[in-house]
Structure 1
Amino acid sequence: MYTPYSQSVLRHNQILIWLCVLSFFSVLNEMVLNVSLPDIAHDFNKAPASTNWVNTAFMLTFSIGTAVYGKLSDQLGIKKLLLFGIIVNCIGSLIGFTGHHFFPILILARLIQGVGAAAFPSLVMVVVARYIPKENRGKAFGLIGSIVAMGEGIGPAIGGTIAHYIHWSYLLLIPIVTFITVPFLMKLLKEEETIKGSFDVAGIIFMSIGIVFFMLFTTSYKMTFLVISILFLLIFLKHITRVSNPFVEPSLGKNASFMIGILCGGLIFGTVAGYVSMVPYMMKDVYQLNTAMIGSMVIFPGTMSVLIFGYIGGLLVDKKGPLSVLTLGIVFISFSFIVSAFFMGMTPWLITITFVFVFGGLSFAKTVISTVVSSSLKQEEAGAGMSLLNFTSFLSEGTGIAIVGGLLSIRLLDQKFLPIISDPSTYLYSNMLLLFTGVIVSSWLLTMTVYKRL
């Protein structure tokens, strides 16, 4: 016979289990298609600039959605929003799978998937905070974090295997598994009291248009797109100073150290995301590896290493300080890029090894950026500030993927700059890695200059 206490514990555990299932299968959607980008490019006869929109489209609506769901949770309730996100994500999956022969439909499906999937990182943590007892929240957050990292880690291996032996379109169906959580979460989660409030729809529209046209500029390099992007972003900046409940709090723009922190973090995260999107093309062109090998032999060890480096990074921040850990992370990333650039074409195992250190360095950088950015915020700015950090981090990853796709397509860097490189098929990728190194090191120097003064 269950006591009220044991029933409560059972309910909390059940909620946590289904949140883990939801988090695991939803996060696979971010990584599984990356390894298949060359196959998609081949099937549609598209350049990387267009093909990379398969990931960019998802990250675009995903990044904006994470901020929107967070702001709506008090007004509409977690239960309704979580159900909405799951259903929309599944609808996007079905549209993408059934219409995968048509590239515009595929991009539309990824946009829809991003709208739905954005609910998960925003709301899952809120559910834990509201439903799990305070003494167990640390374990719950840690468990979900590990599940998410595991999903991101094995995503490339699953994606590469399915794409190689079946077809990449079946990867679009993976998020449908999250629908099994609906009846359980609807039963376990309570109906919540909601509060009335205004929502800055116009601000979201202005900002979204500006971001979309900037990404279109990086795809085609048409100056018209850049002009439209700048115009709408300026309108957005003017708009948020005039409304009572802006989508982005304008007062944060006056906090110079905070803005520099999210800028540098965005450059680092976007560069690594762009590199990850480039690796499948590189492994196909230079090493002639198939999709299954790229996913399981090259990318998988690196993504799984995050589990180890994330734990180590947290310990080092407390012992050595955040800036020392950031420096170590930047050394990992930049050294890996330089080694890969100078010895491109020797063996694919070199890329596998350096990939581990790129993700290790990224794990260190993410830990540090979160730490130093939060330290630059006043207590009353913490909520809005960290929300903006999450938004810009996701958005920068999508932007990095778009920019790298454009650079791979115009092939401006497809020239022999390094005398040590003799194979023409490696010129473009070697030079791209040197460019990545420059961006990473510049971001580190700016971060160190600003935060050493604090």
Structure 2
Amino acid sequence: MVNLQSEEIKKRVIKCMPWILLYEFFQVFNENVFNLITPNLSQEYGVSPSTVSLIVTLGKLFLGIASIVFSALSDIVSTRKLMLFTCFVFPVVTLIGFFSPNSFSLLITARIMFALTIAIPLALQVIIALKYFDKLTAAKYFGYNTAIFQLASAAGHFFGGYITDYFHWNYIFLFPLLTLLGIPTLMKNLPKDASKKGSFDFVGMLLVTIISTLLITFMTFKMQYPLLLISALVCSAIFMIYTRKSKNPFIKPELFKVKGIVWSLIVCGLFYGTQVGFGFIFPFIVHKAYGFPASTIGLFYSLTNIAAFIAGINSGRIISKIGYRNIALLGGLFIFSGLAMVAFLVGFSVVFVFVGMAFFNIGYALFFSGYLSNYTQLLPSHQHGSGVGVERLVLNIGSSLGGALIAMLYGQPYMMNKIVDLSSNPLSAQYSNLALLLMMMIALATFIFTKVFHKNFNRVE
């Protein structure tokens, strides 16, 4: 009887997952479009490029912080209540964004509110998969998660320019209203899980929010303001002292005593720092070294995203053939190969660069499903929420650090010396060297991964 009930709950949750994943699609789509149109917004509002970048920067910042908070909150608050809160608040937020063309401040506010509300389903999709699905089914949805990310990136790169050219950018905020269609399905099928007894550590949450804000802001602005780092370190010390004395801390210290957790989080930071770092230099490679316009870059970028989408959708089948550990290693091999192609061949045909990016994106689609499956195996069942929240924190900080590192090195005179660049192209040396650095980061991360996750993590039940 229990098995029948659990199978029925699983079927109901499966009906909800496409609608939950739809929120991720619109988050990634929205962010990619705003990345694309920042020059237009700078001109429209009459503000500097650095000021207009706050539209994307603050959105990322608050998305990262909210993901951490709601992941941890899901350990004591009903996931159904959190999800339905988003369902009814999110449409209001999108309408605020639609009516923001006449006010830059209102647009910034709308983007922050957009991030805060959409962070709930983004955090809960992993928690729900772990809670209601078996290991293989959960891994499939981790793959779908990455596939949706790639599909939304492709749509953002391809359609963003056309939308802004033929309509107006504010119409981008109307597309997420499609999520309203999913409310009946979610209300009917999301399990009515009870909230757990226990207090929530608001002081700890506030300290983590402050630390995350300071660190991510420090890295976002290319480490130009050391006072932010000093403040983050001071707050971290306060947080550690507070956590030791707290009876129910926001992030439980015993989580980090679990064997493999710390090294696994280092792997996470290195992989996602590399992803953002290469994403930063890719448009510069294609534009500066080959002279391609933004529209062409967006088109080819979309093709690589679609290739990765196909890989992500099929990740469950690949796992059933080779296992959880091996799909992550296969992803690492694809990423390493894509970067190697750029490092050695960037000065030749642009085809090598686009094929390298395709390998790179496919690698991340494969890696994510395997890595998250293995990481969550390390977590105690009662700490899935806080464990996933910490992983999201490391992901966001690692991503910011990777982007900031490559941005700092880009254009430096010492990066112009050829090391592994086999071409005679005078413009390609620094791109080759940056790709080489990212290769080394991936090689290190993959080596650590093999030491943390032994062959017993590869089993498919």
TM range (shorter): 0.7 to 0.9
Aligned residue in 2 for 1:260? 263
- The counterpart of 1:33, out of the listed 31, 34, 47, is 31
Aligned residue in 2 for 1:5? none
Query: How far 1:14 sits from its partner (Å)?
Result: 7.3
**Is the aligned partner of 1:306 residue 2:311?**
yes
* Superposed counterparts of 1:114-129, under 5 Å: 114-124=115-125
8 Å Cα contact 1:249-1:384 kept in structure 2: no
CA distance in 1: counterparts of 2:30 and 2:194, whole angstroms: 38
Query: How far 1:62 sits from its partner (Å)?
Result: 3.0
AA of the residue aligned to 1:249:
K
Aligned residues: CA RMSD? 4.1
Q: Is the alpha carbon distance of 1:49 and 1:282 closer, same or farther for their aligned partners in structure 2, counting shifts above 3 Å? A: farther
Aligned residue in 2 for 1:373? 375
CA distance in 1: counterparts of 2:446 and 2:136, whole angstroms: 32
Query: How far 1:422 sits from its partner (Å)?
Result: 5.3
Aligned residue in 2 for 1:344? 346
Aligned residues, how many?
438
8 Å Cα contact 1:36-1:160 kept in structure 2: no
SS in 2 for 1:247: coil
Aligned residue in 1 for 2:396? 395
Aligned residue in 2 for 1:163? 160
SS in 2 for 1:118: helix
Aligned residue in 1 for 2:441? 439
8 Å Cα contact 2:34-2:56 kept in structure 1: no
CA distance in 2: counterparts of 1:51 and 1:428, whole angstroms: 28
AA of the residue aligned to 2:186:
L
Query: How far 1:227 sits from its partner (Å)?
Result: 0.8
CA distance in 2: counterparts of 1:50 and 1:432, whole angstroms: 27
Q: Is the alpha carbon distance of 1:204 and 1:388 closer, same or farther for their aligned partners in structure 2, counting shifts above 3 Å? A: same
CA distance in 1: counterparts of 2:257 and 2:63, whole angstroms: 27
1:78-118: CA deviation from partner (whole Å, max 9, x where unpaired): 34321322344434434444435766654443332222112
* Superposed counterparts of 1:40-79, under 5 Å: 40-41=38-39, 43-44=41-42, 54-73=55-74, 75-79=76-80
Aligned residue in 2 for 1:250? 253
8 Å Cα contact 2:268-2:391 kept in structure 1: no
8 Å Cα contact 1:69-1:119 kept in structure 2: yes
8 Å Cα contact 2:144-2:313 kept in structure 1: no
1:251-297: CA deviation from partner (whole Å, max 9, x where unpaired): 12234522011111221122113323443444344444455543442
8 Å Cα contact 1:70-1:123 kept in structure 2: yes
* Superposed counterparts of 1:404-423, under 5 Å: 406-407=407-408, 411-412=411-412, 415-418=415-418, 420=422, 423=425
8 Å Cα contact 1:163-1:291 kept in structure 2: no
Q: Is the alpha carbon distance of 1:55 and 1:398 closer, same or farther for their aligned partners in structure 2, counting shifts above 3 Å? A: farther
Aligned residue in 2 for 1:283? 286
Q: Is the alpha carbon distance of 1:351 and 1:176 closer, same or farther for their aligned partners in structure 2, counting shifts above 3 Å? A: farther
CA distance in 2: counterparts of 1:11 and 1:451, whole angstroms: 31
Is the deviation greater in 327-336 or in 27-36?
27-36
TM-score where L is the length of structure 1: 0.78
Work out the percentage of aligned pairs sharing the same amino acid. Answer: 20
AA of the residue aligned to 1:20:
P
Query: How far 1:34 sits from its partner (Å)?
Result: 3.0
8 Å Cα contact 1:54-1:107 kept in structure 2: yes
Q: Is the alpha carbon distance of 1:381 and 1:194 closer, same or farther for their aligned partners in structure 2, counting shifts above 3 Å? A: closer
CA distance in 1: counterparts of 2:412 and 2:454, whole angstroms: 37
SS in 2 for 1:33: helix
8 Å Cα contact 1:162-1:170 kept in structure 2: no
* Superposed counterparts of 1:326-365, under 5 Å: 326-344=328-346, 346-365=348-367
Query: How far 1:405 sits from its partner (Å)?
Result: 7.4
TM-score where L is the length of structure 2: 0.77
8 Å Cα contact 1:18-1:184 kept in structure 2: yes
CA distance in 1: counterparts of 2:402 and 2:378, whole angstroms: 29
Aligned residue in 2 for 1:185? 186
Query: How far 1:207 sits from its partner (Å)?
Result: 1.5
8 Å Cα contact 1:32-1:160 kept in structure 2: no
